[in-house]
Structure 1
């Protein structure tokens, strides 16, 4: 088995009965040996009936092992049926790429909500990852929030494989549906000027409608702040909540413009907290992030 398979299998040993694991292993073997497609589809659907749906009991060491194996892989909230279904998907023969993609297309097309979540969670673990970009883009366009979050949050696939257009749409949609941006892997590394412009325009729309703006919106903006954006940050620093002020200050600290640094200097307590490492995006607690819908 591959290292990913071994890790998922190890977690399931600790979470399901020997009988359930034996059933899953039998199906894996059949699928890997080229069993008729019907075996895969019926087994994939039946996983919760045999394994259940309880959460995987993962330790910090387990999560570290996952991240070491696939940087950004974060299965902390996965359930046993999701892990089992992904093991079945990983068992599909993939040496004939067209046949493999056809099998994936078919299971995606008939999957229910729970199955789609597992399938999108599996994307960074699958063979031929560069061939799944269109599939990931479809998940981002989904009107089912749980499906969108399966690809957008705690999933390294988008940052590694999506182009800027799809990436930017995903980040904007995350704000729109109230998803936490800090759970988007690679958010800081994939920040770009066009995304900053889109986010600021979205903030203006929210303000015009007298609706709140998530403080996290400013996280990908600071590095690309121009004078107009600095004026927006000044508004937030003057009028915003504590969390909004902290976010605006962090955005200013990331800007290379002297105007941004001059603005930050007007708020010495925040400037000092950032300089001393007491206030960073990493420790910007989710408890202080307003989830805006």
Structure 2
């Protein structure tokens, strides 16, 4: 798998997002709230320094609240049409507003914006940081802000990690193979799930498979459980050691782990493993008939 190619949305995406954010916030708050938000966007847009942005981002929860955004399917589709992969299904109103304010601070200078974003994230409190990381796929020139994105996925704070890793097209499009692999492995170490990671199957690679086989072996040696999701990344690129690990997981694992291995092998039919054929075929038939997928097994 070659390194990802960054998505280049530019100012058209920023402008379109700001219009949608204004529309959605006006539907979710009262007249005072929308008046404040529009005034804050104007202040940030024309500010000579970052003070207006810091004040506005900090005031968002008090002015607009923190309720779920809860967009209907048609509006979620509008977001996806504006920016492929943009998933606002679990955003809150304050997160939407904070991302919009950061987007509004872009004056056309991508390097200046990247510097502003980085310095703001360095001092942001956790809820601000979560919101701003969710906005990663919207910001211009994604390569310039990658160091801050990678710092976020190295975080030991699970919500910050998941703001980048989950339901976010940015890592799939921008991270190198090394950065991608480190993010996936980190998910296991902090107890996060894999299924909300966009591009997980497309960016699977042999090095990641070997890393996860090693992780599984360490867990077995320590008599610790192995997440069934690990097999999703191992099976498509399983070498001899990977095949042996799949067989060991089947033999020693519980029912949920066997379900996960059956699903992983269903997605990688080229891999041949010495397992009870009837038992494997039975589970795979049930996976299809009962429409069981990774979110059900995570």
Cα deviation 1:34-63 (Å, max 9, x = unaligned) = 443211111111111111111112112222
Structure-2 separation of matches of 1:288 and 1:252: 14
Q: 1:98 to 1:278 in 2, by over 3 A?
A: same
TM-score (norm 1): 0.90
What does 1:15-30 correspond to in 2, within 5 Å?
15-30=28-43
Unpaired segments ≥5 residues, structure 2: 1-13
Q: Is the 8 A contact 1:264 1:271 kept in 2?
A: no
Q: Is 1:190 the equivalent of 2:199?
A: no
What does 1:143-162 correspond to in 2, within 5 Å?
143-162=156-175
Q: 1:230 to 1:93 in 2, by over 3 A?
A: closer
Structure-1 separation of matches of 2:149 and 2:49: 27
Which residue does the alignment assign to 1:278?
289
Q: Is the 8 A contact 1:123 1:129 kept in 2?
A: yes
Q: Is 1:61 the equivalent of 2:74?
A: yes
Structure-2 separation of matches of 1:75 and 1:264: 43
Structure-2 separation of matches of 1:264 and 1:250: 15
Per-residue deviation, 1:209 = 0.9
Which residue does the alignment assign to 1:214?
227
Q: Is the 8 A contact 2:117 2:145 kept in 1?
A: no
Per-residue deviation, 1:67 = 2.3
Which residue does the alignment assign to 2:264?
251
Per-residue deviation, 1:273 = 4.0
Cα deviation 1:237-258 (Å, max 9, x = unaligned) = 2232222112112223344656
Q: Is 1:241 the equivalent of 2:250?
A: no
Cα deviation 1:88-109 (Å, max 9, x = unaligned) = 1110133223322222222112
Per-residue deviation, 1:234 = 1.5
- SS state at 1:185 partner: coil
Structure-1 separation of matches of 2:85 and 2:109: 28
How many aligned positions are there? Answer: 284
Which residue does the alignment assign to 1:269?
282
Structure-1 separation of matches of 2:151 and 2:275: 41
Point out which structure has higher relative CO (alpha carbons under 8 A, 6+ apart).
Answer: 2
Per-residue deviation, 1:188 = 0.6
Root-mean-square deviation (CA), in Å?
Answer: 2.0
Structure-2 separation of matches of 1:156 and 1:257: 28
Q: Is the 8 A contact 2:265 2:271 kept in 1?
A: no
Cα deviation 1:170-201 (Å, max 9, x = unaligned) = 10111111111001111111100011011111
Cα deviation 1:252-276 (Å, max 9, x = unaligned) = 334465633x5373523024346xx
